[in-house]
Amino acid sequence: MVLAALSPDFPREPVVRGDGAHPLTPVNFAAQMVCAEDAEAAGLVAKAVAMICERRLNPDTDFIAQWVALFGDGMMRDKRAAH
């Protein structure tokens, strides 16, 4: 799972249609999930999306600890930044 902000220099409509995205770099967060089934991984992502919509989870990099709490820090280079 990769969380990335989209470039404001490109329209959002193609992204919504699934025609590709123009993310900013570096990405906000990335996680490798080890789940028994794909549905479990999809459920974790759906939970994160719901939490963002409910304003209980912030996708900004200033809130990386929230993402680590949900998905772990296995893919982070500098694990000190998450704590």
Q: What is the residue-level pLDDT of the chain in tens, covering all 83 positions?
A: 999 999 999 999 999 999 989 999 999 999 988 899 999 999 999 999 999 999 999 999 999 999 999 998 887 766 555 55
Residue-by-residue DSSP string for 64-82: HHHHHHHH-STT-S-GGGG
The two three-digit tokens of residue 6, written as one number? 């989209």
**CB neighbours (10 Å) of residue 29?**
23
The pLDDT value recorded for residue 83 is 54
The range of the structural domain enclosing residue 73 comes to 2-82
The pLDDT value recorded for residue 34 is 87
What pTM does this model have? 0.77
- Tokens 């969380």, residue? 3
The pLDDT value recorded for residue 21 is 92
The pLDDT value recorded for residue 66 is 95
How far apart (Å, rounded) are the C-alpha atoms in residues 24 and 15? 14
Q: How many domains does the chain divide into? A: 1
